[in-house]
Structure 1
Amino acid sequence: MEPLIGAEVLWIPIDDTSAVGAARRMATGLADRAGFDEARSGELAIAVTELAGNLHRHAHDGAMALRLTRPYSSADGTAEPAVEVIALDHGPGMADFEAHLRDGYSTGGTLGVGLGAVTRLASTFDAWSQPERGTVVAARFAAPRRPITRIGAPAAPGRDRAAGLTRPMAGETACGDAYAVRRTADGVVAVLCDGLGHGPLAARAAQRAVEVFTETADEDVTALVTRLHRELRPTRGAAVGVVRLDQTRGLVQFAGLGNVAGAVLRSGERSRHVTSMPGIAGHQARTIRSFDYPVEGNALIVLHTDGLSTRWSFDGQWGLAGHDPLVIAAALLRDAGTRRDDAGVLVLTSRP
């Protein structure tokens, strides 16, 4: 199965009416690259216009992220392109999000299609909203359209257990943070990397780390970090973290170099922070070793670069744990991300 690679993300602040049109044009441009037919591209345009319009009318600090990915796998094992749409804000939030999905429900002038239509047009849809904290929506649009999958419910067989999101620092278009995920027979193995500094050279270091990871079949996290350290020598270097979730054994294994941080979390329990060794992959590594963390039942594994505050928490938001990892990653980036550095977050879910 082709690995899921964190693709380039187009970020659009939705701060005026023109931004709604810009988001629609960017989305249809991605649809063209994905080979969407005219009808499917039009459906995507409707959904993006609705989501961006809601951000403009109702939200504070609203933004939309768009990217072209290949997270779906067809029966013959080939990956199918999809456009992912993430809308996030610090707005008033919604106490009853389900009500907003019903046709005819409105709190103000809208397109008339509403969020309910967005869910019908999307291949997968999930959202998280809290009064006074804002809303996060994540929708994937595959070509051709697939039956809608609502995600804030028990995991469906084969559902992705990992997702990530990256954002460049303010004023930059290239992001020095990147990630990739690969399924294994018993779970997933993933990498998160933070190229040294920011800008194109940092992005190149992170992209090289992703290339090495995807070209390597080895699932041993220590061996993977050792290989990354060797292969990143021609670059400016990066902080890297490699995590393996073994569902069969109920175990998380982690190895890292540098400032990739993370934690294993369960509701009602104290979080266990993962240990990354000092160094810079490609330049300095005195010791490379892995650490094991047991996981049982519903647990979250969160990795992030230093573009997220180390003081982030799920305070009052443990309902997030049952949602799409992409929604969780977007909520963390919204709440704890800084615009003074590239930011990247990767979320793995452990469910029975």
Structure 2
Amino acid sequence: MTAHVPVDHYSAVQRAATTARRAALDQGLTGALPDRAAVLASELAGNVARHAVGGALYIQALPLRTGVEILAVDRGPGMADLERCLTDGYTTGGTLGSGLGAVRRIADEFAVRTRRGTGTVVSARLGEPGAGPAPGAPGVGAVRVPADGESACGDSWGLDVRGGVRTALVVDGLGHGAPAAEAAELAVRVFHRDPGLPLPGLLHAMNRALRRSRGAAVGLLRLSEGGVEHCSVGNVRALLLDRDGARQRFGGQPGVVGWNMPEPRVQRVPAAPGTVAVLHSDGVDASWTGTPTPFLTMLPAPLLAAALVHTHRRSRDDATVLALGPPRREA
């Protein structure tokens, strides 16, 4: 689950650093890495506290490998001179490191996008040395936060990457809290038992497993060179996004997996280079798909997931976004 740290006061800087250090330790990072995670969070939270409004950090385990990811999102003025801000040593306050340049240097993977009058989104990832993502793995962004006041998240997600085939899952347990979380996690475990099954077969397996649970909405996407397949029951949204907006929206079938699931139907569309696939629960307001801004549509997958949750989340519900960008190429 993603730790959400609102940056509404400078005291949030220490809270963000503590949260990042704990997340790194929980992931088994050793040596100086937990302290480096704390520096990353401190720098990013400090930047938000000093220069922006409506900002937060999202801190979580890395997708696809062991490590920690720190995401910073704000609705501030944006950076007028991004290159200057990325210069190592450039800083406007006394934080643990020396500005965004230090964040870029310390992180294994770093991405930032900013726009005047819109805000800034940053991703900093840190893992064990030499354990970076393999070439061919997709750019992955995922954020999973519980409803306000809840300690458990009734949403979850899963991803399987095998050669050129990527199979993605987002599941939304009915309601929220612990019973919904149990249903969602059960669906994820079933998914990982045999993720190469045809998509209807995966849904049937989940339907059998969830019969004694709350039940869930389930969305599945499979991407390969042959195209994109989609299969969904319930209110998990799925779409293909390019720089011009939503290229393809997929509709889910009505029903509840585990209770009254219809016979699953598969939708197939051709693949297009550069397309980003997005799955999200209804804790994210789907109205964003109507007229997404150019700033949003051009975000890489890790930044897109964070921006959607931060900007379009319904705080009274669990919210999960999984975004898959194009596969990584050889260096």
State TM-score, norm by structure 2. 0.91
Deviation string, structure 1 residues 116-142 (Cα, Å, up to 9, x no partner): 111111111112211111111111110
Deviation string, structure 1 residues 170-210 (Cα, Å, up to 9, x no partner): 11121111101110222200100011001111111111111
Counterpart of 2:249 in structure 1 is 273
Checking the alignment, whether the CA contact within 8 Å between 1:193 and 1:209 is kept in structure 2 is yes
Counterpart of 1:152 in structure 2 is none
Counterpart of 2:14 in structure 1 is 21
Deviation string, structure 1 residues 235-276 (Cα, Å, up to 9, x no partner): 101100011001x21x11010100011212233476321121
Alignment coverage as a number of residue pairs: 325
**Alignment partner of 1:163 is 2:147:** no
Checking the alignment, whether the CA contact within 8 Å between 2:16 and 2:45 is kept in structure 1 is yes
**Alignment partner of 1:239 is 2:239:** no
Counterpart of 2:239 in structure 1 is 263
Checking the alignment, whether the CA contact within 8 Å between 2:62 and 2:125 is kept in structure 1 is no
Alpha-carbon distance in structure 2 between the residues aligned to 1:170 and 1:189:
30
Q: CA deviation at 1:316?
A: 2.4
- Cα gap change, 1:236/1:158 in structure 2, threshold over 3 Å: closer, same or farther? same
Q: Which of 28, 31, 34 is 1:41 aligned to?
A: 34
Deviation string, structure 1 residues 86-122 (Cα, Å, up to 9, x no partner): 111111112432321112434x324261111111111
Q: Which of 228, 237, 249 is 1:252 aligned to?
A: 228
Q: CA deviation at 1:84?
A: 1.0
Alpha-carbon distance in structure 2 between the residues aligned to 1:37 and 1:336:
36
Unmatched 5+ stretches in structure 1: 1-7, 73-80, 150-155
- Cα gap change, 1:312/1:165 in structure 2, threshold over 3 Å: closer, same or farther? same
Counterpart of 1:298 in structure 2 is 274
Alpha-carbon distance in structure 2 between the residues aligned to 1:32 and 1:292:
42
Partner SS, residue 213 of structure 2: coil
What's the % identity of the aligned pairs?
36
Unmatched 5+ stretches in structure 2: none
**Alignment partner of 1:124 is 2:117:** no
Pairwise mapping of residues 149-160 of structure 1 onto structure 2 (< 5 A)? 157-160=135-138
Alpha-carbon distance in structure 1 between the residues aligned to 2:149 and 2:175:
14
Deviation string, structure 1 residues 280-300 (Cα, Å, up to 9, x no partner): 110111231110021221112
Counterpart of 2:294 in structure 1 is 316
Checking the alignment, whether the CA contact within 8 Å between 1:189 and 1:219 is kept in structure 2 is no
**Alignment partner of 1:92 is 2:77:** yes
Counterpart of 1:343 in structure 2 is 319
Checking the alignment, whether the CA contact within 8 Å between 1:123 and 1:145 is kept in structure 2 is no
Amino acid at match of 1:304: H
Q: Which of 101, 105, 127 is 1:142 aligned to?
A: 127
Alpha-carbon distance in structure 1 between the residues aligned to 2:219 and 2:252:
7
Q: Which of 176, 179, 188 is 1:210 aligned to?
A: 188
Q: Which of 58, 74, 77 is 2:51 aligned to?
A: 58
Alpha-carbon distance in structure 2 between the residues aligned to 1:31 and 1:269:
36
Partner SS, residue 251 of structure 2: coil
Partner SS, residue 138 of structure 2: coil
| Cα root mean square deviation, aligned | 2.1
Alpha-carbon distance in structure 2 between the residues aligned to 1:256 and 1:62:
33
Q: CA deviation at 1:157?
A: 3.1
Checking the alignment, whether the CA contact within 8 Å between 2:195 and 2:202 is kept in structure 1 is no
Q: Which of 178, 196, 202 is 1:200 aligned to?
A: 178
Partner SS, residue 322 of structure 2: strand
- Cα gap change, 1:329/1:318 in structure 2, threshold over 3 Å: closer, same or farther? closer
